[in-house]
A and B are shown apart, each in its own frame.
Chain A
């Protein structure tokens, strides 16, 4: 019957079929699943961690634990949601560990960031500015923003990936966007009542209570 299941890999059309095939012993199914989703998961990991080495480590760790845990995959969630959740958790774990020890600031934009063939320098500069602005957010806000605003996941799906309430996703996005709007210079006159300093970099002043 290994013959039987081996054929499944090539023919399987859904992620669910692939993970079932993997759980049933198909040696190729998991790699196929990874190939399908690696770019999006790479984007999430790199944008959450901002360091290609760390992103690669986190992804490898996440994929191996997904490989081993596939038998306990709860089918009521999407395979992609489940994979994202494992990846995001691996990234956030790394950030927590990183925060537990002193580190040097990360570079403005890591190597491996978009090598897209868009020729306009302006576009590239904007995207570098956005990436470095993202780096200023606390990890919880950043992961919500990366999933919702960059990767385009719905609030509901992001809530499942992050394991938090939808309202929490929304408020993390709200806090993060407000801060990014200042850092990116879209909010030039942010004196709308809460005494936010004009300089968006004075973010320490508003740290309290954010990220929830």
Chain B
């Protein structure tokens, strides 16, 4: 780092080294030194020529034409991505028949397979960092932070160990929660599709929009709940912008177009 010589005082010159002038040009030097040097450089034709040469260089670089990925490269890359997708899907598909009772009760159209026992067997899924890690992250948090007092789910020391047969399936009746339970994702909700009164998709979308969530919002799970005595549906939503953060939205049965009927809303995750 040649900038050190210019940290305390303006280096003597002219002449100045190309390195020093390039540092000045690139904004490496401290403010005072830079201002002083700039002033003195202005009096020196040779130094000015160096700065002009650096300008010409950056202009040449900026003028390089934009490149386009050749079609054969992009199709090769897309094929590789499709392989990853297929690997993930195939693994999910293969695991379903072998799954435990709890899974058989689960709705078929869950977005995230959350059965922990299944996940344990599915060691190196292509989507390890995607779908499953997202579920694992959510679950991990839930398992670790929800106190044992919650009536649903079995607190587990480690995600991926043990079966999920204690997790409630849809139709187990509504889950009873206190507002303080919403400080993290309650167990047994991610991947659940227990939408109750919001089972109609158009109704769900309208309800989400009434609460300010765009139609693009990812629904990670839903569960009918009784929150502090109020009947509603708990929706776990992926934050559309901030990955790794989820929104817990509890809405009442009347939630629809322009009727938010919001009971609670919390942001969880990082």
Flag if A67 contacts B84 (CB, 8 Å).
yes
B129 touches A192 (CB 8 A): no
Which stretch, B73-81, B144-152, B176-184, B251-259, touches the partner chain A? B73-81
> Among B19, B68, B133, B216, which residue has its beta carbon within 8 angstroms of that of A175?
B19
Q: Which residues of the other chain, A, contact B129 by a CB distance below 8 angstroms?
A: 67-72
* Contact status of A192 and B111, CB under 8 A, knowing A23-B238, A118-B65, A126-B63: no
Q: Are A192 and B14 in contact (CB-based, < 8 A)?
A: yes
Chain B 92-128 interface residues, beta-carbon cutoff 8 Å to A: 109-112, 126-128
Most-contacted residue by chain A among B1, B53, B58, B220 (CB, 10 A) = B53
B1 contacts A170, CB within 8 Å? no
Is B210 in contact with chain A by the CB < 8 A criterion? no
A38: contacting residue among B13, B19, B77, CB under 8 A: B77
Q: How far is the CA of A42 from the CA of B85 in the complex (A)?
A: 22
A127 contacts B63, C-beta separation under 8 Å = yes
Q: Is the CB of B240 within 8 A of A17?
A: yes
| A64–B22 CB distance below 8 A | no
Contacts of B76 in A (CB 8 A): 56, 60
Nearest to B192 among chain A residues (CB) is A1
A191 CA / B270 CA spacing, docked (Å): 55
Residue of A whose beta carbon sits closest to that of B240: A17
Q: Do B21 and A14 touch (CB < 8 A)?
A: no
**Contacting A170 at CB < 8 Å: which of B15, B28, B56, B245?**
B28
Q: How large is the interface on B (under 10, 10 to 19, 20 to 34, 35 or more residues)?
A: 35 or more
Query: Cβ of B16 and Cβ of A192 under 8 Å apart?
Result: yes
CA distance A209 to B23 in the complex (A): 14
Verify B47–A20 contact, CB threshold 8 A. no
A92 CB within 8 Å of chain B: no
For the complex, give the distance between the alpha carbons of A101 and B17 in Å. Answer: 35
Contact of B81 among A63, A69, A186 (CB under 8 A): A63
- Chain B residue, CB-CB nearest to A146: B61
Contact check, B56 vs A23: say whether CB atoms are below 8 A apart.
Answer: no
A22 to B130, CA, bound (A): 7
Q: How far is the CA of A190 from the CA of B21 in the complex (A)?
A: 11
Contact of B80 among A64, A116, A150 (CB under 8 A): A64
* Contacts A20-B218, A67-B81 given; does A59 touch B73 at CB 8 Å: yes
Q: Which residues of B contact A (CB under 8 A)?
A: 1-3, 13-23, 25-28, 46-47, 49-50, 52-54, 56-58, 60-70, 73-74, 76-78, 80-82, 84-85, 88-89, 109-112, 126-134, 137, 193, 201, 215-216, 218-220, 238-245, 270
Q: List 23 A-B contacts (CB under 8 A).
A: A1-B110, A1-B111, A13-B216, A16-B240, A16-B241, A23-B133, A24-B112, A31-B78, A31-B82, A39-B69, A41-B69, A59-B73, A71-B134, A71-B243, A73-B243, A126-B60, A170-B27, A173-B26, A178-B19, A180-B60, A182-B18, A186-B52, A193-B13
